[in-house]
Structure 1
Amino acid sequence: MTDVLAAEWLKLRSVRSTWYVLGLVALAVPVAAFLALQGVNGWDGLPPERRTRFQAPPVEQVLLPLVQLCMGVLAVLSITSEYATGTIRASLAAVPRRRRVLAGKAVVVAGISLLGGLLFLAGAFAAGRAVVGDRPLSPGYVTPPEAEIPMLLASGLSVAVVALVGLGLGAVLRSAAGAIVTVSALLFVLPVVAALLPAPWGGRAGSVLLPDLAGQLVDHPSAVGDLPPLGALAVLAAYVVAALGAGAAVLTRRDA
């Protein structure tokens, strides 16, 4: 298995699209600083009686869906690029146990997305806090920084989950465009559809969607949904199992 992991890591880091995507995710830090600066400028220009109504969500949570999408795209490309170039045949010839190939990709993708997600979200968090300073901007900047560590860790985990879902979808669809559109729908379209549903179905549907699970995982005050932390963890695991399980089934039954 070590050789499989080494091979998958070599393949992933040798593809230019990997570095393009990571470079795009790195922009979360300066974008976070810019958004925080815009909020600060707006808050500073308000009279005291209007500042109490000013809403400033934490910039790292505003950018979280974009970081999730980028890592999901990275995961999709990690397998669909092999189908596009035909190199998947060489990979399966070198490792006849096809599920082991997918497992190796999953470990590498999960590691990179988790580490990358944590680093860039932490950078965005630090940039936002540095710009805001001691201004009591509600609701994102009224808690001490250390109180937000669990939410940052949960957000990083959600990035890795989205990446693994993207990998599974890439294995099923074998099309970068189709898998990326599906990941985008999970992150951006389904939450809008859920919000349009009548109560209580809208809230129930939104509780199990990927963008809202990180907050529920640590019972964060800004969490949207009614799931307990263990319930949110179970839903995250179900996404991974369903996506990778479907990917493994297709990979083992279809010709390369």
Structure 2
Amino acid sequence: MKDVFAAEWLKLRTARSTYFTLVVPVGFVVMGAALAFYSANMWDSLTVEDRAHFALSSLATLNADVTGLCLAILGVLAVTGEYRTGMIRTTLTVVPRRSLLLFAKAGVIGGVALLAGLAVTFVTFFTVKLIIGDRPIRGQPTGVVAELPELVSRGAAVTVYALLGLGLAVILRSTAGAIASVFALWYVVPIIIANVPAPWNERLGSFMLGGLPDQVIGGDNENSIYGSILPPPVALLVLLAYAAIPLAAAAFLLNRRDA
């Protein structure tokens, strides 16, 4: 088993796509710092009346979402790249236990996603906080301790995105199809549900992927299109299901289809 994990890690860290997908979140960290610097300068030039209407959304949350999408794409490419080149046949010859292969891929991708998600989220948070300083800009956190649960929840949720992409890639065997499916689950479906008549918009919206990390820590998804009716334990189970169900389906199909 150790050799299978080592082989998957070697394939992941030697693929150019890995670095292409990881450079985007790094770029957003830099953009977040630039936006925070611009907002701080603007705040200093505003009158007292204008400051009451000035706000800056959570850049750490934004970057966590961006990182999630990037790692979902990485999860997709980790599978479809092998199918595209035909390398999957060699892989399955060396590792005939297909469930073990999928488990190894999920472990490596999940580990990278967890580290990347937490790193980007916390680096963005502390960078923005350092630049904003003690300016009471609306929408910005006041303390690290109060924001810690959300930072951990948002950062760790990136792992779910990555495993979702991995599972869909095995199921669909299509880069475009898997990426489009992830994007639809994250963005398109929630917009459609947000326009469903009440109270079903909130009920269904509470089960959407993007709104679950906040509910895991007991948040209310304020000023978002998501609902907030799920208690934290249920929200956590639903969030994990977004990764577990596609991976279970992927394991089933991988064992029953030709390479």
TM-score scaled to structure 1, two decimals? 0.95
Structure 1 stretch 238-247 or stretch 70-79: which is displaced more?
A: 238-247
| 1:60 and 1:125 in contact (8 A); partners too | yes
Tell me, yes or no, if the aligned pair for 1:30 and 1:127 is still in contact at 8 Å. Answer: no
Deviation at 1:126, TM superposition (A): 1.3
Distance 2:170 2:53 in 1: 47
Secondary structure, counterpart of 2:229 in structure 1? coil
CA offsets per residue over residues 66-89 of structure 1, 9 Å max, x none? 111100000100011000000111
Counterpart in 2 of 1:241?
244
Q: What is the CA–CA distance in structure 1 between the aligned matches of 2:240 and 2:194, rounded to whole Å? A: 24
Pairing 1:123-142 to 2, within 5 Å after superposition: 123-141=123-141
Kindly report which structure 2 residues correspond to 1:46-195, keeping only aligned pairs within 5 A, or say none.
46-141=46-141, 143-195=142-194
Q: Is the CA contact 1:72–1:180 (under 8 Å) kept in the aligned structure 2?
A: yes
Check whether the contact 2:82–2:88 (CA below 8 A) recurs between aligned residues. yes
Q: Secondary structure at the match of 2:66?
A: helix
Q: Distance in 1 between matches of 2:67 and 2:105?
A: 20
Deviation of 1:221 after TM superposition, in Å, equals 5.9
Query: Alignment partner of 1:226: what SS?
Result: coil
CA distance in 2 between counterparts of 1:84 and 1:72 reads: 18
- For residue 253 of structure 1, give the secondary structure of its aligned residue in structure 2: coil
The one-letter amino acid paired with 1:158 is A
Q: Output the CA distance in 1 between the equivalents of 2:41 and 2:62.
A: 18
What residue is the counterpart of 1:26 in the other structure?
Answer: 26
On the 8 A contact 2:73/2:162 being kept in 1, the answer is yes
User: Equivalent residue for 1:255?
Assistant: 258
Number of corresponding residues: 255
Give the AA of the match of 1:74: L
Separation (CA, whole Å) in 2 of partners of 1:93 and 1:104: 15
- Per the alignment, do residues 239 and 222 of structure 1 end up closer, same or farther by CA in structure 2, a change over 3 Å counting? closer
With 57-66 and 171-180 compared, the bigger mean Cα shift is at 57-66
Equivalent in 221, 231, 235 of residue 232 of structure 1: 235
CA contact (8 A) 2:67 2:116 kept: no
Higher mean Cα deviation, 55-64 or 245-254? Answer: 55-64
Report the counterpart of residue 207 of structure 2 in structure 1.
208
Decide which moves more: 39-48 or 75-84. 39-48
| Other structure's SS at 1:127 match | helix
The answer as to whether partners of 2:193 and 2:205 remain within 8 angstroms in 1 is yes
Structure 1, unmatched stretches of 5+, are: none
SS at match of 1:57: coil
> Residue 230 of structure 2 aligns to a residue in which SS?
coil
> Whole-Å Cα distance in 1 between the matches of residues 77 and 109 of structure 2?
11
Q: Give every structure 1 segment of 4 or more consecutive aligned residues whose post-TM-superposition deviation is greater than 6 Å.
A: none
Q: CA RMSD in A?
A: 1.5
Unpaired segments of 5 or more residues in structure 2?
none
Q: Percentage identity across aligned positions?
A: 44
How far is the alpha carbon of 1:93 from its aligned partner?
0.8
Deviations 1:163-218 (A, max 9, x none): 00000000001111111111111111122112211211111122111111111111
What do the CA deviations read for 1:212-241 (whole angstroms, capped 9, x no partner)?
111111123655522111011010121112
2 CA distance for matches of 1:57 and 1:231?
A: 27
> CA offsets per residue over residues 132-167 of structure 1, 9 Å max, x none?
1101112223x2122211111111221000100000
In structure 2, the partner of 1:3 is: 3
The aligned amino acid for 2:13 is R
Shift in Å, 1:94:
0.9
Q: For residues 183 and 221 of structure 2, what CA distance do their matches in structure 1 show?
A: 23
